[in-house]
Amino acid sequence: MPITALLDLLLFALLGYLVGSISGSLVLGRLRGIDIRTQGSGNAGGTNALRTVGWSFALGVVLIDLGKGVVAAGLLPMLAPLLADSEPSRLWLACACGFAAVLGHVWPVYFGFRGGKGAGTAVGAVAVLAPWCILPLLLVWLITLFGTGYVGLATILAGLSLVPSMYLLGPEPLPLALGVFAIALAVLLVFTHRSNLARLASGTENRFEKARVLKRRK
C-alpha cells in the first residue's frame, strides 16, 4: 500500500474513532442531567441504561451506538479518495474504521475515556461489513440470554461466535481484512467484558431474571 494510501487509512481510522467516541448514553444522559456511569454497573452502555433509566432511554442509546458502527464502517470509507480505486484497500479501510469506532465507544475521547463495552457499535459495524454474521450472533446471544439470564455472558459468546461465522458463512476465500477484523473484535469484546467473567467465576454476576426462560427447577 502506498504511503499516501496508508496515511489516508490512518486518518479515516482516526475519524472512525472520533465517531465512536460519541457515546449514546452519555450524550442523552447530559440532555437529561444524568450520568449512568454513576448508576448501576457504572457502564455507559445499553444494558445499564435499561436497568437504571428505562427502556425508552435505552432504545435511544442502542440506536445511536449501532449507528456509529454503521457510519464508521459504511460511510466514512466512501470519503477516502486515495483508496477509492482499490477494493482490498477499501475493505481494509472499512474494517479499520469500524474497529476504531468500537475503540472510541469503549474509550471515548469526549468523556474522559470512560465508555461502554463496545457491543452495540460492534454490531453496527458487523452489519455493514459481514451481514451474514448477524443472524448467528443474534441466535447465540438470545439462546444464552434466555438460558442463563446473563447479558454479559451472552455478549461474550456472541462475540466469540463472530469468528467461526465469518469463516464458515462468508465468501471463499475470506478476505484477510475480514478475518483480522473478526478476531480483533472478538478479543476486544472478551477484554471489555473481563469484569463480567470475573463475577461469573465468583458467582456474583447480575442475572436478568425476566429474560431467563430456562429456570432451574427446585
Domain limits at 145? Answer: 132-218
Residues 6 and 48 in one domain: yes
Same structural domain, 55 and 146: no
Same domain, 111 and 181: no
Regarding whether 77 and 20 lie in a shared domain, the answer is: yes
Cite the DSSP H helix spans in the chain. 3-20, 24-32, 46-52, 55-70, 87-106, 119-129, 134-148, 151-169, 176-192, 194-202
10 Å CB burial of residue 210 (0-12, 13-18, 19+) is: exposed
156-to-31, 71, 130, 150, 161 alpha-carbon distances in Å: 31, 24, 18, 10, 9
Residue bearing the bigger pLDDT, 215 or 46? 46
Q: Quick check: 46 pLDDT over 80?
A: no
For residues 70 and 68, give the distance between their C-alpha atoms in angstroms, rounded to a whole number.
5
SS3 189: helix
**Closest CA relative to residue 49, chosen from 79, 82, 26:** 26
Nearest alpha-carbon partner for 163 in 187, 194, 196: 187
Residue with cell 473481563: 194
What's the whole-number mean pLDDT along residues 178-201? 96
Per-residue pLDDT of 146-164, as tens digits, reads 999 898 999 999 999 999 9
Residue pair 57/33 in contact by the 8 Å Cβ criterion = no
Q: Residue 149: helix, strand or coil by DSSP?
A: coil
- Please indicate, yes or no, whether residues 74 and 160 belong to a single structural domain of this protein: no
Q: Examine the domain organization and report whether 56 and 159 are in the same domain.
A: no
150 and 90 assigned to the same domain = no
What CA–CA distance (Å, rounded) separates 136 from 117? 20
- Out of 129, 163, 184, pick the residue that ends a domain: 129
Query: What is the value of pTM for the model shown?
Result: 0.87
Nearest to 52 by CA among 27, 30, 34: 34
Give the number of domains in the chain: 2
Among residues 110, 129, 148, the one where a domain terminates is 129
111 & 144 share domain: no
| Residue 217 banded pLDDT, cuts 50, 70, 90 | very low
| Residue with the larger pLDDT of the pair 17 and 149 | 17
Task: Return the closest-CA partner of residue 205 out of 144, 140, 160.
Answer: 144
Of 2-16, 33-47, 89-103, the range with the lowest mean pLDDT is 33-47
pLDDT score at 60: 87
| Residues 64, 9: Cα–Cα separation, whole Å | 24
Q: Does 177 lie in the same domain as 123?
A: no
Angle at 76 between CA 71 and CA 81, to 5 degrees: 165
| Same domain? 66 vs 92 | yes
Are 80 and 152 part of one and the same domain?
Answer: no
Q: Is the same domain home to 60 and 119?
A: yes
Amino acid letter, residue 152: G
129, 149, 181 — which closes off a domain?
129
